[in-house]
Homo-oligomer: A and B are copies of this chain.
Amino acid sequence: MSGDEDLGPRLSGRLHYLLKRAQNDLAALHEELLAPIGINAGELSVLLLLDAREPESQQQAAQRLGVDRTTMVALIDALEGKGLVERRPDPADRRRNVIELTDIGRKTLRRATRASDQAERRLLSQLDGAETEHLRSLLRRVAAAPGDR
């Protein structure tokens, strides 16, 4: 993207532009820093979710992440193909697959989290620690908004 203020203050101050820009930049940093680990930012989200909520069915994971269950199929396919998660039929309800992290998945998660931390630090290199946490807390409150859709 171009510098900054070639756009005029009305555009460069709009939240649509600012959020898209921050997200694009962070996505590029994640692509660069996660590449050696062999996963992408979306897969990291799934690993983080499983680490917090495991064991979890594909449907539950999809709902929590806000994606369609068909999207989750592809995500789990990819992660399972890399040996990071395992599908196991739920004995209590055999329509369901329970998804679990493997040991390799847990190790990969730790490495990927560190890489993602670094991506965040580079994105926010202009902010000090207090400002970084303030930004995070403001965004958290935005995400928690009641009528947010």
Residues of A within 8 A of B (CB): 1-2, 4, 6-30, 41, 44-45, 48-49, 51-53, 63-66, 113, 116, 120, 122-127, 131, 134-136, 138-149
Q: Kindly state the separation between the CA atoms of A14 and B20 in the bound complex, as whole angstroms.
A: 16
Q: Kindly state the separation between the CA atoms of A16 and B113 in the bound complex, as whole angstroms.
A: 12
So how many copies of this chain end up in the complex?
2
Contact of A141 among B30, B127, B136 (CB under 8 A): B127
Distance in Å from the Cβ of A53 to the closest Cβ of chain B? 7
25 interchain pairs, CB-CB under 8 A: A1-B65, A2-B65, A6-B53, A7-B49, A7-B53, A7-B65, A9-B52, A10-B52, A11-B49, A11-B52, A14-B45, A14-B48, A15-B26, A15-B120, A15-B123, A17-B45, A18-B142, A19-B23, A19-B139, A25-B142, A25-B143, A125-B147, A126-B144, A134-B134, A138-B138
